[in-house]
Amino acid sequence: MLKLKPTHKVITAFYQEIARLSGLKITSEGSVAPAFANILKHCAGQYDLHFIEQYHIKRDGRRPIRTDGTLLDKFVLRHGIWEAKDIKDNLPKEIKDKFKTGYPNDNILFQTPQKLVLWQDGHEIFNEDITDNPSVLIEGLNLF
């Protein structure tokens, strides 16, 4: 289990940054994703993993997949993938499209500022609203 509480600095900073950006009407993935990336970096450190943004996964005879973030161990073995989406994206469609293009579905976390969707072993196991709900956010992170 992660050593995280709803009042932990990295969690409150995420919600504060999303609120700040929302107040400015800034909703693009590139603007909102760094706040969540900070959480993943923090969590990775608790498990001696490395969180690498914009990580490329090589594929035979095809162009590599560029993930928004990937959790790697010291042997560069992949433990999870993160895909950020912006507030206006149709998340179910985006997920379907990612799988069509060959994204692995063994442990992948899709995230918008309002929602977390986690797929493991080819099945969706978590799909929850995280808007103003840090306990649910932490639950999803623990599963990831």
CA distances from 114 to 4, 14, 44, 76, 85 (A): 19, 12, 22, 31, 10
Q: What is the mean pLDDT of residues 86-102?
A: 94
Q: If pLDDT is split at 50, 70 and 90, which confidence band does 27 have?
A: confident
- Phi, psi dihedrals of residue 141, rounded to the nearest 5°: -65, -40
Residue 121 CB partners (closer than 8 Å, separation 6+): 105, 106, 107
pLDDT of 88: 87
CB atoms within 10 A of CB 14: 23
pLDDT of 137: 98
Q: If pLDDT is split at 50, 70 and 90, which confidence band does 87 have?
A: confident
CA distance 35 to 17: 7
Determine what percent of the chain is predicted with pLDDT higher than 70. 100
pLDDT of 125: 98
Q: What is the mean pLDDT of residues 80-88?
A: 94
Own/partner pairs, 14-18, CB within 8 angstroms, 24+ separation: 14/38, 14/39, 14/137, 15/132, 15/134, 18/113
pLDDT of 134: 98
CA distance 51 to 40: 7
Determine what percent of the chain is predicted with pLDDT higher than 90. 94
